[in-house]
Amino acid sequence: RTRILTGITTSGTPHLGNYAGAIRPAIESGKAADVESFYFLADYHALIKAQDPALVQRSTLEIAAAWLACGLDPRRTWFYRQSDIPEIPELTWFLTCVAGKGLLNRAHAYKAANDRNAEEGLDADAGVTAGLFMYPVLMAADILIFDAQRVPVGRDQIQHIEMARDFGQRFNHTYGGEYFVLPEAQIDDSVATLPGLDGRKMSKSYRNTIPLFAPSAELRKLIAGIVTDTRMPGEPKDPEGNALFELYSAFATAEQSAAFAHALRGGLGWGDAKTQLFELLDQQIAPMRERYDALIADPAQIEAILLDNAQRLRETYAIPKLRELRSAIGIRPLT
């Protein structure tokens, strides 16, 4: 079976972009009989951007409940919290010792932080932690430990998957064996990158998100606040690149989407367009929201599912993998 791995960073409340870009396609592809799915809550990654313990804890619960509410079956798939698998940070260190520092210097997230520093006239590396710098190595460990073959990602993450391949290959080469399967990035062009309230990519880091399970009234209010231009009802509007249209399309059938585009070109007012978007989203989300509200009220049940998965996953894959790696590099395997 093909192993597919998807993680979401537990640094905030799950949003529409996480759902349309990660949760929905991952659950869909996980239904295939020839796929073994790994879904994880990336709480070690969260520490890179969120150092508020209550937020990380709350986010972990929310993102876990979101996966379950959206239809993840924790008996047919691996569903775990990254920090419940201590073999992941151990492997991170092994990979750190084969990873080229020069390669990490070119990683997107790190370069982006330094580009911002340059723009603001700050010194290189100001405010950059070693955690941010090393993040591609942790990500490589997440993937390589389970020999995941495919990792669905947005285009901005292709480079990090290539780094995981590079580190895995170097390790294989250094220690002379096929210790790791080299992963491939899976880019699905039908999965759109959703815009947020301000028109930029919807992202927890930009604080422009629409929470996936916002109560109906709040969802309506947030949608009403999406930035539009000043064109009046009756004036034709171009659906291309329009945030309302992009959000609508991510949840609509092809026919619904074509009808919405047609209406915008024909002068549909922004207010009416927002109402239509709200109705479409609310109708689709309502049944999942109901399940989510029930799940979030029972954290002990979620905890039990996560711990059971982590324990089985460690016994099945992580512990034997680290035993093999430890002996390959000349460290005593844990008994």
Residue 226 in contact with ligand ATP, rule: CB under 6 A? no
**Binding of residue 25 to ligand ATP (CB under 6 A):** no
Site for ligand ATP in 201-220 (CB under 6 A): 201-205
Site for ligand ATP in 109-148 (CB under 6 A): none
194 is in an annotated binding site: yes
Q: Which is nearer to ligand ATP, 50 or 268 (CB)?
A: 50
Number of residues that bind ligand ATP (CB under 6 A): 17
Contact criterion met (CB below 8 Å) for 256 and 280: yes
- Distance, CA of 16 to CA of 21 (rounded, Å): 8
Say if residue 154 carries a ligand binding annotation.
Answer: yes
Whether 246 and 194 have beta carbons less than 8 Å apart is answered as yes
Binding to ligand ATP, residues 150-189 (CB under 6 A): 154
Binds ligand ATP (CB under 6 A): choice among 21, 74, 211, 239: 21
Residue nearest to ligand ATP (CB): 21
C-alpha of 215 from chain center: 22
- Contacts of ligand ATP in 47-66 (CB under 6 A): 49
Task: Using the minimum distance from each CB to ligand ATP, give the nearer residue, 21 or 74.
Answer: 21
Q: Please state the closest distance from residue 253 (CB atom) to ligand ATP, in A.
A: 19
18 is in an annotated binding site: yes
Q: Which residues here bind ligand ATP, judged by CB under 6 A?
A: 8-9, 11, 17-18, 20-22, 49, 154, 193-194, 201-205
Binding residues for L-tryptophan, as ranges, are 142
